[in-house]
Chain A
Amino acid sequence: MEPLVTVGVLSAFVVYGTFVAFVNTDYFVDPYLSPFFSPCLASNCEEATWDLFGTHWGFSPALLILPFPLGFRLTCYYYRKAYYRSFLWSPPACAVSDFRSSYTGETKFPLILQNVHRYFFFLALPFPIILLYDALRAFRFEGEFGMGLGTLILLANAVLLGLYTLSCHSCRHLVGGGINLLSQAPIRRRLWGVSTRLNARHMQYAWVSLFGVLIADLYVRLLANGVFSDPRFF
């Protein structure tokens, strides 16, 4: 049952993400920007965060940024476990036979590329900060301070994505796990302690943050299509 659920959820997310990226509309309703398009880096954005590529980029601006969080999740140690089990059946479950008769693990191309995970971690690190910036911007409605349901959704999404990123195994290694004498590096020891505590829930953060991104985009999309109006708290 578990592999089936994993296949269903991950496939649905990939299909939804691809659809959203290529449809390239309805991702901004002032002041909410969908996380699939943040940061928006081209002139053809509905709301440009930073017009880095100007008019040189003619495709969906989501394509400029999505490879980084996608690569981070694809090479993530937790997701690897999830899709090796559910998609590749290697193995489908503990003590259940592998689907394939030969096995080389992550020693050969293409799976040896999983070792680039820490680079995707570096590339994914700015995203929670940018999304937090988006969430803070979402406290302003036509120049006035305010808060709507969308503000809370964007804020929760940024926090969940931050927890997922900082609980990453590569992060845990880089902040202190790679050294044996933590007693001689007090700052790294503290960082490693925090990362270790977060890392224990990496799987939960992986799933919740995935749904967070999905819900945030869906919320903005429904608002943009006028399905309902954003409830304002003040």
Chain B
Amino acid sequence: MRQADSVWVHWFAVLTAFATFVLIIAGALVVGHDAGLSVPDWPLSYGSLMPPMEGGIFYEHGHRMIAALVGALTIALAIWLWQRDARRWVRILGVIAVVAVITQAVLGGITVLYLLPVPVRIFHASLAQLFFCITLGLALFTSRAWAADSAADDRGFPGLRLLSCAATCAVFIQLILGAALRHGALGLMPHIAWAAAVAVLVIWMGYVALARLPRSETHLRWFSGSAIFLVILQLGLGYGSYYTRLVTRDASQPDQAMIHVTTTHVAVGAALLGASLLTTLLAFRRLRHRSEVVSFNRGAQKTAA
């Protein structure tokens, strides 16, 4: 890929990831406003492409419109990567993104047509986060940060690679538990209990990155530091979501404060997953594992001998 192309495809991938983040927020607003079934038909809305945008229709059809935009961006990105990126695995990841976004659209349709079946809603919410991870990955893989040579060693135990991987998996599981809670499949306790594990892993990951990595590892330090901030914010938002839901449980209509807090909780959850994922991917890309350093040194000694 030429340098100019590389820059543009990277920013296009960033745009796709950002649009996906907005889509996740739009989805959370649909749930918050209890508007999931305000448009009973699919793929059209009230038999048209543009129904009157009022009440719950604004949120549900708005969600569909943003989803259509994300779908178009994803297909365009995949075609661009297929034509211009030399790395086969990146091209395949672009195709996987297209398959994921189409699957997500079909799940959205099933959700509407089958009147919100809970397992499908949870799967829809979880695949949204997974798709966000794919778009973030594509943005990273097309960036200069990914192309730069590796620098630092992954010293100490556990290493940042292991910790960040564990933290990312923990955050993803927590998002599934959150979706299960929000859609009534699970109670509150699994989500609260797992939040403790997530907080420990993410803060540990951030501490290790900030304490052990040199200042030259700007991206890694920034993403992991952001993850610490986000997980603390997320704990507060989690309490806020619980409290606002509790005090408004008998309300005649969805409470605006509850909608804002719970939607922000979903958005920060996605941002936390993104920060953890980017830390993980960069850690595996840029840090050399201790065993690799040892074997390299042994190899060097043999060569010298």
A and B are partners in one complex rather than unrelated chains: no
Residues of B bordering A, CB below 8 Å: none
Residues of A bordering B, CB below 8 Å: none
